[in-house]
């Protein structure tokens, strides 16, 4: 059974930082693209960044988080992290982890989400 467990969300003041983590189990980590999404009330789910086992051409971030958020992947832990700096109130959302197989579109999994609230 595949499980993605996110943690690290919480309440932070504008300008602050948080680090989210997503640990996967029940899958072969190297066979999956691991991504972070977020969703605010009334808005569509937004792709922030995708992480691949081997990245030769750099990592593409959504314009809304470029320069402030960094993803890193620790294969030995089956975990990806999202380091979020210089947080803004508009970053307030539920953050989701996604695992998508390179070999089958049907193998697509989501975590339960973790709430991030940026407020003074």
State pLDDT tens for residues 15-30. Answer: 999 999 999 999 999 9
For residue range 4-59, what is the model confidence (pLDDT) as tens digits?
999 999 999 999 999 999 999 999 999 999 999 999 989 999 999 988 877 655 67
Looking at every residue in the chain, the average pLDDT score rounds to: 93
Residue with tokens 């832990």: 77
Q: What SS3 class is residue 76?
A: helix
Please say whether the dihedral angle defined by the alpha carbons of residues 101, 105, 4 and 66, taken in this order, is positive or negative. positive
């Amino acid at each position: 059974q595949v499980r993605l467990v996110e943690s690290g969300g919480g309440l932070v003041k504008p300008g602050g930082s948080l680090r989210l983590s997503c640990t996967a189990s029940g899958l072969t980590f190297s066979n999956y693209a691991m991504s972070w999404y977020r969703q605010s009330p009334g808005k569509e789910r937004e792709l922030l960044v995708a992480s691949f086992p081997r990245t030769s051409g750099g990592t593409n971030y959504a314009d809304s988080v470029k320069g402030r958020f960094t993803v890193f992947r620790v294969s030995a832990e089956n975990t990806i992290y999202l380091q979020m700096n210089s947080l803004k109130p508009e970053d307030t959302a539920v953050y989701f982890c996604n695992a998508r197989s390179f070999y089958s579109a049907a193998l697509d999994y989501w975590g339960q989400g973790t709430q991030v609230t940026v407020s003074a």
